[in-house]
Amino acid sequence: MTHFNHGPIQQIATDNDAVFAFQIHGHIDDDTSEALAQFMNDVFDEHPKVNMLLEMTKFTGSDWDSMLDGDVIKSRFRSLQHVARYAVVGAPDRAAKMIGLMDKVIPVEARAFDTDEITQAWDFVGAQPVAA
């Protein structure tokens, strides 16, 4: 599988082939959302279960209409079957609250971590970052 690097999203290499981690720097536009969705749909085709980690400490926002793309919608629904654990580090307050709420209603174990809890987030997903 190829390494994902598109616009403000760069994949973080991990020591676990079933953990997919990404660092987000800046604003996510429609093209970036679609590219990540296509990448994750390919991941879901190859892996029955994965864990994910998003590091969002430098995230500045996203285009709302990017959520309406067909590949984005497909990957979000597929993630309910294919993602076991989902960690978000440094999410904006509203997003962190939503993650806490969604953890109670979706079949994915989802947690938001403060920036200073990045070690706990990596432990939660069962991997560590490695040099690419």
List, as one string, the DSSP characters of the chain. Answer: -PPPEETTEEEEPBS-TTEEEEEEEEEE-HHHHHHHHHHHHHHHHH-S-EEEEEEEEEEEEE-GGGGGSHHHHHHHHHHHHHEEEEEEES--HHHHHHHHHHTTTSSSEEEEE-GGGHHHHHHHHT--B---
Question: In this predicted structure, what is the pLDDT of residue 49?
Answer: 97
Question: In this predicted structure, what is the pLDDT of residue 41?
Answer: 95
pTM of structure: 0.91
Query: Is the pLDDT at 64 greater than 90, yes or no?
Result: no
Domains and CATH numbers, the chain: 5-125 (3.30.750.24)
Mean pLDDT of the chain: 91
pLDDT by residue (tens digit) across 97-113? Answer: 888 888 788 889 999 99
Query: Is the pLDDT at 9 greater than 90, yes or no?
Result: yes
